[in-house]
């Protein structure tokens, strides 16, 4: 039995509760038959299904700006999809993150050109920020965008780019040099088939999804692909992460809830020492710890989401707390779930074994846990009287 008591919390409106129930039924009926052996094909199928049944419309506002991103909805969708399938959550999330800079900073023409496609699943989106030498150290980006006639020419490489190889659009962050460091970056929309953009390497990871190193070699784009103004790139990246970071926590929460479901079922059924595993008090202690961490994570996530939805310009501290706590807690919850499953917990293809692999990268991407601590500490120190 899944725990839905959190839906009664005051962070939510009736529309959120209805959506969570509808999506749970949809995920139960639509995600079981996807063949994950070819992750590219699986992702394309997932994006198409999520688009066809209108779930992707939550990843970006209408092109005319008449709707806006609702972070509580994003978080509920990610939490629910993650409970069923890490890859389904990934496919949904990347449409939001990839199109995020266009949603937040695109002009009318850019929004019209791309958002109807990412919201329907007609175009797959990617967010290309990281480079081999600048992951956590974003301001150190070396990919360049040089002004040339009526456009720009991009040169360099991006690494660890999700949806790399299958994306129809990449938002690419490059150095335009208006100022040193973070203030000299800009963001561009680059079509997947733009000449000069190629896939230098496909990267395999422990929870596979489309992932690649991209190469930009004399890659010419029009001036109309620049998002915001030259030099806005760092601001655009951070504002986008500010919205979507909370939802990484939500995906972790979904994984943790699934681990809990599996653990409760296992502990109740498994007979040993003349009773069930769940009768043993040390197991009950583990289950209590798991429940506590899940609720604490959910409170931080929906606090951050609600704060953003209520109109806060930035929620860096709240989002960092939500992502840091939820991802670290989910790792502990899932590890305990594996332990309680005994040998079955490490059997390839068992749900908790898959969760064990699914959760790991979330503590690294969109700002590693140590980076979240820096964000929190900076916010605390700058607001404290010193
Ligand atoms: C599965 C996956 C998918 C990804 N998808 C994308 C994507 O779609 N788009 C994209 O742009 N990027 C993506 N990334 C890249 C991701 O955001 C980076 O891996 C991440 O920012 C960390 O950068 P790095 O790997 O270079 O590690 P490094 O920057 O080398 O950091 C390594 C470790 O050092 C520690 N550390 C770093 N800085 C500090 C500090 N200041 N203080 C204390 N400790 C510190 C942390 O523990 C960190 O984990 C993805 C990564 C993975 C693994």
201 is an active site residue: no
Crossing angle (nearest 10°) for helices 71-84 and 281-309: 150
Average the pLDDT over each of 57-66, 122-131, 267-276 and give the range with the smallest value.
Answer: 57-66
Look at residue 361 and tell me whether its pLDDT is greater than 80: yes
Average pLDDT of span 223-229: 98
What sign does the CA torsion over 12, 15, 18, 23 have?
negative
Q: Write the CA distances from 153 to 44, 303, 346, 369, integer angstroms.
A: 30, 42, 49, 34
- Ligand 1 mutation pick, 135, 366, 378, max ligand atoms within 8 A of CB: 135
Does the beta carbon of 122 lie inside 6 Å of ligand 1?
no
List, in sequence order, the alpha helices (H) in 39-107: 39-52, 71-84, 86-105
The per-residue pLDDT for 287 is 98
Q: What is the DSSP letter of 168?
A: S
Pair 213, 159: CB distance under 8 Å: yes
The per-residue pLDDT for 385 is 60
Pair 192, 169: CB distance under 8 Å: yes
Pair 78, 150: CB distance under 8 Å: no
Pairing, β 185-191 against β 226-227: antiparallel
Residue 122: strand, helix, or coil: coil
Closest residue to atom 12 of ligand 1, CA basis: 130
- Residue scoring higher pLDDT (314 or 178): 178
Pair 168, 117: CB distance under 8 Å: yes
Query: 131 forms bridges with which residues in the sheet?
Result: 134
The per-residue pLDDT for 262 is 98
The Cα–Cα gap between 338 and 51 comes to 34
- What's the pLDDT band for 2 if we cut at 50, 70, 90? confident
The per-residue pLDDT for 123 is 98
pLDDT tens per residue, range 300-334:
999 999 999 999 988 999 999 999 999 999 999 99
The per-residue pLDDT for 386 is 59
Closest residue to atom 9 of ligand 1, CA basis: 161
What is the CB neighbour count within 10 angstroms for residue 342?
13
pLDDT tens per residue, range 363-385:
999 999 999 999 999 999 998 76
Pair 21, 74: CB distance under 8 Å: no
- Which member of 63, 79, 293, 366 is catalytic? 366
Does the beta carbon of 368 lie inside 6 Å of ligand 1?
yes
Concatenating the DSSP letter of every residue in 229-251 gives STT-HHHHHHHHHHHHHHHHHHH
Closest residue to atom 41 of ligand 1, CA basis: 371
Phi, psi of 309 (to 5 degrees): -65, -25
- What's the pLDDT band for 153 if we cut at 50, 70, 90? very high
Residue found by looking up tokens 């335009």 in the block: 176
The per-residue pLDDT for 383 is 87
Cα 83–312–232 angle (5° rounding)?
95
% of the chain with per-residue pLDDT over 70: 99
Does the beta carbon of 365 lie inside 6 Å of ligand 1?
yes
Give me ligand 1 centre to Cα 16, in Å.
32
pLDDT tens per residue, range 17-37:
999 999 999 999 999 999 999
Closest residue to atom 33 of ligand 1, CA basis: 368
Give me ligand 1 centre to Cα 138, in Å.
10
The per-residue pLDDT for 126 is 98
Does the beta carbon of 162 lie inside 6 Å of ligand 1?
yes
Closest residue to atom 38 of ligand 1, CA basis: 136
Mean pLDDT of the chain: 97
Which residue spans within the chain are E strands per DSSP?
Answer: 125-128, 144-148, 151-162, 169-175, 185-191, 197-202, 211-222, 226-227, 271-272, 275-276
């Amino acid at each position: 039995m899944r725990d839905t008591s959190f839906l009664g919390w005051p962070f939510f409106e009736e529309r959120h509760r209805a959506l969570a129930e509808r999506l749970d039924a949809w995920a139960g009926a639509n995600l079981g038959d996807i063949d994950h052996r070819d992750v590219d094909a699986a992702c394309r199928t997932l994006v198409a299904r999520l688009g066809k049944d209108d779930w992707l419309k939550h990843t970006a506002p209408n092109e005319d700006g008449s709707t806006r991103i609702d972070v509580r909805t994003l978080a509920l969708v990610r939490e629910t999809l993650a409970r069923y399938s890490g890859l389904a959550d990934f496919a949904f999330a990347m449409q939001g993150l990839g199109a995020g800079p266009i949603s937040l900073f695109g002009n009318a023409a850019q929004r019209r050109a791309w958002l109807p496609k990412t919201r329907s699943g007609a175009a797959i989106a990617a967010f290309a920020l990281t480079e081999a030498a600048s992951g956590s150290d974003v301001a150190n980006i070396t990919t360049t965008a040089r002004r040339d006639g009526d456009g720009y020419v991009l040169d360099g490489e991006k690494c660890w780019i999700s949806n790399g190889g299958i994306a129809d659009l990449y938002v690419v962050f490059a150095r335009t040099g208006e100022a040193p460091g973070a203030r000299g970056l800009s963001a561009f929309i680059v079509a997947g088939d733009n000449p000069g953009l190629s896939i230098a390497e496909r990267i395999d990871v422990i929870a596979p999804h489309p992932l690649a190193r991209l190469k930009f070699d004399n890659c010419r784009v029009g001036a109309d692909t620049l998002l915001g103004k030259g030099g806005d790139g760092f601001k655009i990246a951070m504002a986008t992460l500010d919205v979507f970071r909370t939802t990484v926590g939500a995906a972790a929460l979904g994984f943790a809830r699934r681990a809990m479901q599996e653990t409760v079922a296992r502990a109740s059924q498994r007979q040993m020492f003349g009773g069930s595993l769940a009768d043993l008090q040390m197991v009950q202690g583990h289950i209590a710890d798991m429940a506590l961490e899940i609720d604490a994570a959910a409170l931080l996530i929906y606090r951050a989401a609600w704060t953003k939805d209520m109109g806060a310009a930035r929620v860096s501290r709240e989002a960092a707390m939500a992502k840091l706590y939820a991802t670290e807690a989910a790792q502990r919850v899932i590890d305990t779930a594996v332990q309680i499953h005994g040998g079955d917990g490490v059997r390839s293809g068992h749900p908790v074994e898959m969760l064990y692999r699914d959760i790991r990268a979330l503590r690294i991407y969109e700002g590693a846990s140590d980076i979240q601590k820096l964000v929190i500490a900076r916010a605390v120190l700058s607001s404290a009287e010193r």
